[in-house]
Amino acid sequence: MKSKDELLELILNDSNAFNEYICDNADNGIDMSEVDLSNSEIRDITFKNIDFTSSTFSDSHLFNVQFIECDLTSADFTRSTLTECDFSNSVLNGTDFSYATLDYCNFNEADMAGSVFGESDLSNSDLSTSFNLNACRFDEGTVWPDDDMLPDNFDGMYSSDLSSLQDDEDENQVSDY
């Protein structure tokens, strides 16, 4: 069994060797929790049955990366560019995609509860069979794909709610301090 550092080296420098290793070891489940892959370029790699809990991919460029049956709980993809990535059957609870561009990504049967999409561009991605998208956070700057690429019961219109704790009167009030 390879260490996290050895696996990180393969991810960043030899995707073919990493893919071969995953083919032989994916059934065991691999712990890559809390790894830092920020500012990375990752291409043509398959992550299968990997625990990426609390890992960071911020400011990274990912192309043709497959996260199949992965746990990405509380992972950080802020300001990343993801192109043709697949998150099928993955857990994305609390995953932060703020300011990210997700181009032609697939979220087939992914659990999206608590995911954050503030100022994200998902315009070409398929979220139609994802779960719990109604439990994600987004804002008026979030760009959603066409309705046929979203779950039937999802409303992508942003509206302020109690969680914002914003009061219109507070904005115009002058402080004595």
Q: Which residues are paired to 6 by β-bridges?
A: none
Out of 3-17, 48-62, 80-94, 147-161, least confident range: 147-161
Asked if 52 and 30 touch (Cβ cutoff 8 Å), the reply is no
| Cβ(86)–Cβ(106) below 8 Å | yes
N-to-C CA span, the chain: 61
pTM metric for this prediction = 0.86
Inform me whether the pLDDT recorded for 162 exceeds 50.
no
Q: Which of 111, 159, 162 is nearest to 138 (CA)?
A: 159
Tens-digit pLDDT profile for residues 73-88: 999 999 999 999 999 9
Domains of the chain in sequence order = 4-149 (2.160.20.80)
| Residue 35 pLDDT > 70 | yes
